[in-house]
Amino acid sequence: MIAAYLAQFRPPDGDFSAGGAWTVRYDLIEWVGSPSMDGAKFLRGNRVLGRQVVTRRPGSAGRGVGYELDHAITLNGFVSTLRSTMQCSAGPLPGLLDWTTDYEMRPSRGGGRALTFREQGRHRDGVLEIAGAAGGVRRFQTDRPVLPQWAVLDVLSAGPRPATGSGAEMEFDLFHDLTSYRPRQRLRPYGVLDISLDGRMEKLRGFVQTGEGTEPIHYWIDAAGRPLLATGGLFASALTSIRPA
C-alpha cells in the first residue's frame, strides 16, 4: 500500500530553512487494502482523511521555539479538529513548556451538537500538568523532555546532530496529539533509501521511533532536510506544501 502511494507521490517545491520560520501542510492518510471477492488479488490503495498544518516560529536569541497547529480529520462519522499554540524549549530536543489546545468533535453529516473543550498545560522541573475547563488537573512526572510529535519532524529536518547521528539514539517522552502521554520513546537512524518519486531519484534518510504505547513510526527526510513522510500502523502524514512563515 505504501509503495503504491509513493509511486505517485510528488514532493512539493519550495526552499526550506530547517531552523527558520516555516509552515508545512500534511495530508493525513489511511492505508486501505482488502482481498478481492475471488481471493486471487489483494487490492491496495489509500484515502486522505484530513490535514495537518504546522507553523514554526523560532524565538529571539535562541529562546526556544513556538508552534501553531491546525489539525482536522474525518473518521468514523465525526470531524475532529485540534488547534493549539505551543512554546517549546531551545536545544536539540524542543520539549513542551506551555501550551493551549482547543478541541472540537462534531458529526460529519446532519445536525447534532459539537463537543468542545479547552486544555492548558505546562512543564516545569520534571512535572507535566494539564488543566481542563472543568477544573481537573492531570500530572505526570518525568526526567526527559516531553515532545509533541511534530517537533520530532523538526528535530530530524535539522540534519545530523550528535543526538541523531549515525548509530546514535535519543530518548524523550511523547505527548501524542496533545492528548495521550507516552513515555520512553526512542528515535534512531533507520538507513538510507534510494527511490524514484514522481520520476526523479531521491535519497531519503530514514529514522524509526519506538516506545511505550506507540506502534513503530518511520520518518523519511529528503536531501534538503524536508520531512516528507511519517508512517505508523495504518496511518501516515505526507508533506504537500512548505513555505516560509
Number of domains in the chain: 1
Q: Tens digits of per-residue pLDDT, 177-203? A: 778 889 999 999 999 989 888 888 888
Q: What is the pLDDT of residue 34?
A: 65
Domain span at 101:
2-244
Q: What is the pLDDT of residue 81?
A: 95
Q: Identify the CA nearest to 36 among candidates 27, 24, 28, 45.
A: 45
Cα separations in angstroms, 149 against 36, 102, 172, 237? 36, 17, 11, 11
The pLDDT of 8-24, averaged and rounded, is: 83
Q: What is the pLDDT of residue 189?
A: 92
Q: Tens digits of per-residue pLDDT, 41-75? A: 666 678 899 999 999 999 876 689 999 999 999 98
Q: What DSSP string runs through 133-192?
A: TTS-EEEEE-SS-EE-HHHHHHHHHT---TTTSTT--EEEEEEETTTEEEEEEEEEEEEE
Q: Tens digits of per-residue pLDDT, 190-237? A: 999 898 888 888 889 999 999 998 889 999 998 888 889 999 888 899
The pLDDT of 20-31, averaged and rounded, is: 91
Q: What is the pLDDT of residue 39?
A: 59
Burial class from Cβ neighbours inside 10 Å (0-12, 13-18, 19+) for residue 163 reads middle
